[in-house]
Amino acid sequence: MKEKINKENKMRFREKALILLVAVVISLAAFSLISAPAVDMVKVGKQAGYEIITNWLAQVDVPSHHPVTRSV
């Protein structure tokens, strides 16, 4: 009787381990699918930020007695 109970417990542990493994794989796959567009959005946002700053700097009036120094 005791052996039967131990065998059932082992089977439950294997099932739990399999369920955990499947959940981890699904989570990693879902995270990869979600994070790919997010990385692209960050790149686009960074580029847009650079363009905004460049446009703002181009519109700033520099007094004639100050030398214009810009590093590219």
Domain ranges of the chain: 1-58
**What does R_g of the chain's alpha carbons equal in angstroms?**
30
Element at 13 (helix H, strand E): helix 2-59
Q: Choose among 69, 45, 43: nearest CA to 57.
A: 69
State whether the Cα torsion 34-38-39-44 is positive or negative.
positive
Q: What are the tokens at 13?
A: 């542990």
Per-residue pLDDT of the chain (72 residues; tens, 9 = 90+): 666 666 666 678 888 899 999 999 999 888 877 777 777 888 888 999 999 998 888 887 655 565 656 555
Q: Which pTM does this prediction carry?
A: 0.41
Element at 1 (helix H, strand E): none
